[in-house]
Chains A and B, each alone.
Chain A
Amino acid sequence: MKKIIVFLLIVFSYSANMQILAKHFTYDKQKNVAIFKGDVNVTKESDNILSNILFVYTNKKNKLQKLIAIGNVKFRVTDKNSTYKGQTDKLTYNANKEIYKFEGHAHIIKVQDNQEIFGNKIIINKKTGNAIVDSDKNDTAPIKFILKVKE
């Protein structure tokens, strides 16, 4: 019994709550999607996402699957070692793979060393800490990195 309690304590100590504030909320039971509109503010520990609209997808067991934030998205997210902040048109978070995808006019600043990334499609893997900057085939917008080097 003691082992079970200790195990549960360990499990809960590694999980956190995600809090979402919004002016308007709709939940569709059939599609398992919650839609938040108006001054949406998502907080999970030190992570924070602000947007106009947010879609939250859960599975039948109420487990979080995916977050999609759209419209004037501002964020501050952390992975293993780094903290990223910035803005984009659309942010997608895949909860199973722990991957952030930033699409459309993405501008990300790595807080620790002030590196800046501009692109139309940026993917950050929260587990590994890897960042992939990509552009669409039809997209002519350049990818831009700004590395600040200490003199």
Chain B
Amino acid sequence: MDIKKSLLVLFIIITITFPFFFSPKKIEYKESNKSLPYIQIYNGVFKVYNKIIEKKGTFSQTNYFNKNYFITNNLDMFLYDKNSSLKAKKVLYKNQYYLTNVIYKTNKYKYKAKNGIYNENTKTFIGYNFQFFNDKIDGKGNKMIYKNDILTADNIKYTIKGIK
């Protein structure tokens, strides 16, 4: 192979690989729509912020089936108006959040549930196989509903700790 051919091959290789040298390391996708707040997907981390709710999460897989339907892992939400937070291992969002291994935290109690549903509009949290607790109270049961600062539950085992 003569020098001209070698240079041509080298030129082709450099031309093909050129974009990789200069493309940004972080690939960023942006998506927004009217019903959901601004959504940003960024190297396995998504963030949503609209001054009412801040959502973030690292995830191994996130699929947008359409604009109002997504699955993600390790959701971490902060609800500014209620000063409460919601964390869940696996999440399916379709109008409301369907959650597994969920921790919902308010200024009064910390709620843990094996499965749960959170509705953003009505600010209602439903927990199944739940436990709620603070330093003095511990409650366990099958199903609980928390809405408008009122908690209801069925078949509860409620413990008040440290009474003289």
Contact = CB atoms under 8 A, between A and B. Distances in A.
Q: Do the two shown chains form a genuine complex with each other?
A: yes
Interface of A: 12, 14-30, 34, 36, 44, 56, 58, 61-64, 95, 98
A17 B141 contact: no
Contacts of B164: 14-16, 98
B152 interface: yes
A95 B156 contact: no
B154 to A, nearest CB: 6
Given A25-B141, A27-B150, A36 B156 contact: yes
A19 B160 CA distance: 6
B108 A29 contact: yes
Contact of A17 (B134, B150, B152, B163): B163
Contact of B136 (A14, A58, A98): A58
B150 A25 contact: no
Nearest to A41: B157
A18 B150 contact: no
A22 B158 contact: yes
Contact of A18 (B134, B152, B153, B160): B160
B139 interface: yes
B108 A36 contact: no
Interface of B: 108, 134-137, 139, 141, 149-164
B163 A24 contact: no
A94 to B, nearest CB: 13
Contacts of A12: 162
A29 B163 contact: no
B23 to A, nearest CB: 52
A30 B157 CA distance: 22
Given A15-B164, A25-B139, A29-B108, A20 B154 contact: no
A28 B149 CA distance: 6
Given A17-B159, A17-B161, A34-B158, A62 B134 contact: yes
A29 B148 CA distance: 9
A28 B137 CA distance: 14
A112 to B, nearest CB: 23
